[in-house]
Chain A
Amino acid sequence: MKRNKRVKKYSRCAVNSVNAVALLVLMFFAMMVYWAQDAHCNELSQEIGKAEKELKKLESDYEREVSSWDELKTPDNLRQALIRHGIDMVQTNPGQVINMNASGKPMPGQMSVARIRQRQGRVDRVASSQVVPRTYPVAPRAAMPRTVRRSATTRR
């Protein structure tokens, strides 16, 4: 009777301890999870920080690059570049301009067109006429300096 009482008492005590240990273990795991998450967050934030810096750097580089391209595209620089390559352009003279209508034909009453046609007519007349080309007397071969002939032979 007495023994039974003891057993009963120990068993109740064991249940309480198990509960307490279980709670502690639970808390420990909760803490571990919290710390793990915290560490992960820390790691992520470091990565975000690095990415943030990288993004800022790339954005700045982009702005700098665009700016340097813009400086090359200014009318002054384009003109300088054209001059450098010998293809500088000037405004046309009024006489060089032919105004055309929508169908692509020159509008009537333009002095420039009349002048061009007149010039073209003159060229056509010259091209069509059978003029014997002028012949020029050719110097005799013997008259050429000796040294020149010799050098030509040696080269051959």
Chain B
Amino acid sequence: MTRLSEIIRFYVVVGILASVSFALAGRLVVLHGDLLSKKLDQPNYGFKRDMQGLRGAIYPSNRGSAPFARSVPVWVYHVDPASVTLKQHTRREVAETVAEALQMPFDDVMKAYSRVDSRYVYLTMSSDTEANKVLSNPKKVSGLRAEEIQIRRYPQGRRLSHVLGFVSKDPTNSVGSAGIEMRYERYLRGIPGKIEGEVDARRVELYDRRLVSTDPRPGCDVYLTIDQNLQYEVETALAKGVAKSRAQAGWAIVLQVKTGAVLAMASLPDYEPETYNRSSSSAKKNLAVCEIYEPGSVMKTITACAALDCGIASPSTTYSSSRNDTRYYRLPTDSHGMDPVMTVGEALVHSCNVVYGKIGVDVGPKRLWSYMDAFGLGRKTGIDLPGEEYGILPRWEKWDKVKWSRAPIGQGVAVTGIQIAAAYAAIANDGELLRPYVVEKVVSKDEGVLYQHVRDVRGHPIKASTARNVREMMLGVAKKGGTARRAAVQGYSVAGKTGTAQMKEGRGYSSVNFNASFVGIVPASRPELVILVTLQKPFNCRSWKLSQETGIPLYNHQGGVCAAPVFRRIAWTALKYLEVQPDQPDDLPEDMDMAEYERKVMELE
């Protein structure tokens, strides 16, 4: 009997211990074990939240300056008219407080509060912290919900809109859809964080029941080569030029010769990246990179490079500017009243189509094509912007005999602005063709520099001596008697070339629509910058006035008339801003030689 009671007691104690241990173990398992994951699937307990990592910012090259683009958390306010606590205040009082805090018209807020058909009436978006404090006070405001989301802000508005691009408007999954935002999406995009756990009956998270907690990681910051002050000046100058010439569109590029860095890139018309959906698709196109056009006389420099490099001609080789051959028939004579015989250099300065047509024929289509190809025409430059066009450079076998004399003067060949700028940069860089680029580096907040641009040489289309000779030839363009006197920059020598290209119209060329361009290398003796300005369809092409110097009519649509002044303004500002040492006395008149100038200075002193 005794033995039996002992056994019973023993088993009772063991049973209690076992049950307590089982209960504790069960609790642990339920809290931290697999059972919970099954439980989480049930909607009443489970709690999962994805947190967006802040998207990286896009900075200009200027140190300590404001970014071009950054993500900001803002509150989206919406009204639930049914949940206004009418015991504490009236709808009108609430609407007054909300309208004052959010600086909205009272009528709009009151209208939202008066609606009975909806429990979600969108009000506005605001990042004002003070307003949020006021609106979070339940004694003053009710029926107002604030949801925090992340939006992309572009503090400089339209500035550099084509290069920056924009992000889609989905607040939970915004994706870069154009420009740098699109190209560097994988760097800019933050890594989302995750929280998994349990909530109570009021759907409030039980922090001690949290299972997974991964912090979101912000995206990397992208540093551009663009200088924001220079960009401002370039956009201002281009806008003035477009307005003055009443052009339909325009684009400008400032390229650093030594590195291929794009210091400024502007395109008009532009758009507001924050409200990109309100702009037309044509306004969103980066014309400097995505628009192909016939370059016109700007191509003559490439032809001159080919002729000089392969030894067909030298700067002093003479050509007749008369159309004595049927191949040059219908080539517009624009030798500007010069002698019928002129050198290769003079023909470039006066932009003589016939002479360059002849030079092209002498060089031969195969060689000319290979030089154009080597300069990167008809190919992508590899600039780190999306949507870059190839251009059109048909292989020389497909050229008919008319094209032999047309391609050298920039007809029948289509290029992009960046291709021409890169080709001129090669001439400025003693024949070294570099890949133009916009992004200098990508920096992660945790891991430091992830990407750094390395100078990328794409080839050597011409010899250094050829490049120097061609630059010398181009010096005359911005001097007296040249086609772009208005491109002269005081204190600096300018090697440039104008281009007035007829636009395609049906199967032929338009007589009223032109692309007016000017591309210049400054300073010509120690090239630092290549600046391209193109104006599309400058208006009023029939109005003209006689040049005071040469007596030759100047038309408004010509590159030397409408694009050259824009170039001059950009060049003057850029050279001063970048502290480039002048390479010629500040106001040496074109018709005065150096000795005479020095004598005049001595006289004055």
* Chain A residues within CB distance 8 Å of chain B: 9, 13, 16-17, 20, 23-24, 27, 31, 34, 41-42, 44-46, 48-49, 60-61, 63-71, 73-76, 91-92, 94-95, 97, 99, 109-115, 117-118
Contact = CB atoms under 8 A, between A and B. Distances in A.
B394 interface: no
B24 A31 contact: yes
B153 interface: yes
Contacts of A67: 70, 72, 127, 153, 155
A70 B129 contact: no
Contacts of A49: 205, 207
A23 B585 CA distance: 103
B105 interface: no
B73 interface: yes
Contact of A110 (B21, B148, B586): B586
A64 B73 contact: yes
A70 B20 contact: no
A114 B586 contact: no
A103 B129 CA distance: 54
Contacts of B604: 111, 114-115, 117-118
Given A31-B20, A94-B491, A111-B587, A64 B205 contact: no
Contacts of B87: none
B478 to A, nearest CB: 14
Nearest to B231: A75
Contacts of B576: 91-92, 97
Contact of A16 (B6, B16, B72, B232): B6
B605 A71 contact: no
A64 B72 contact: yes
A76 B156 contact: yes
Nearest to B195: A52
A75 B451 CA distance: 28
Interface of B: 2, 6, 9-10, 13, 16-17, 20-21, 24, 54, 65-67, 70-74, 127, 129, 148, 153, 155-157, 159, 205-208, 210, 228-229, 232, 490-491, 572-573, 576, 581-582, 585-588, 597-598, 600-601, 604-605
A115 B603 CA distance: 11
21 contacts: A16-B6, A27-B20, A27-B21, A34-B24, A45-B206, A46-B207, A60-B73, A67-B70, A69-B66, A74-B66, A74-B228, A75-B232, A76-B159, A94-B587, A95-B587, A99-B491, A99-B582, A111-B588, A111-B601, A112-B587, A113-B605
Contacts of A48: 207
A63 B228 contact: no
A44 B206 CA distance: 12
A41 B10 CA distance: 36
Given A24-B13, A73-B65, A117-B605, A63 B208 contact: no
A81 B462 CA distance: 49
Contacts of B24: 31, 34
B587 A64 contact: no
Nearest to B603: A114
Q: Which are the 6 A-B pairs with shortest beta-carbon distances?
A: A94-B490, A70-B66, A45-B207, A45-B208, A114-B604, A49-B207
Contacts of B229: 75
A64 B150 CA distance: 11
A46 B155 CA distance: 38
Contact of A75 (B9, B228, B581, B588): B228
A110 B490 contact: no
Given A48-B207, A63-B71, A111-B588, 11 more contacts: A27-B16, A27-B17, A44-B208, A71-B153, A74-B66, A75-B232, A94-B572, A94-B586, A97-B576, A97-B586, A110-B585
